[in-house]
Amino acid sequence: GNSVTQMEGPVTLSEEAFLTINCTYTATGYPSLFWYVQYPGEGLQLLLKATKADDKGSNKGFEATYRKETTSFHLEKGSVQVSDSAVYFCALSDLTGNQFYFGTGTSLTVIP
């Protein structure tokens, strides 16, 4: 069946450090892939998405590339800020749009 495996946290980085959060998936066909972010006390909000192989999603300095060959969608940011402290979720939507799978979430804390 479909599933998402996400890098365990928590992750603590200094400001301006490079961030990678790994995400791999199992799915049939070509699902859509998403990164959502959850700030403390809030609901999830879309950070970026990619809907086909080799697509790169980007937003607010974050990037992720849909890699079919490695079934991965790793999140990266070149220089994190304190305001990036949040929980990040990798997610998958199957071809029908009827099933949705979220990773367990990775908590990121950025210290000044």
Partner 1 sequence: DSGVTQTPKHLITATGQRVTLRCSPRSGDLSVYWYQQSLDQGLQFLIQYYNGEERAKGNILERFSAQQFPDLHSELNLSSLELGDSALYFCASSARGGSQETQYFGPGTRLLVL
Where does this chain bind partner 1 (CB under 8 A)? 31-32, 34, 36, 42-46, 49, 51, 89, 93-105
Of how many residues is the chain composed? 112
- Give the end-to-end CA distance of the chain in Å, rounded to a whole number: 42
Q: 2 vs 109, which CB is nearer to partner 1? A: 2
We find the least distance from the C-beta atom of residue 17 to partner 1, in angstroms, to be 26
Closer residue to partner 1 in complex, CB, 14/104: 104
Residue 14 or 99: the one with the smaller Cβ distance to partner 1 is 99
Count the Cβ atoms, other than its own, within 10 Å of residue 61. 13
Shortest approach of partner 1 to residue 95 CB, angstroms?
6
Least Å from the CB of residue 15 to partner 1: 27
Min dist CB 48 to partner 1, Å, is: 10
Long-range contacts, 95-103 (Cβ 8 Å, 24+): 95/28, 95/29, 95/30, 95/31, 99/2, 101/2, 101/3, 101/4, 101/25, 102/4, 102/36, 103/4, 103/5, 103/6, 103/23
Q: Which is nearer to partner 1, 49 or 77 (CB)?
A: 49
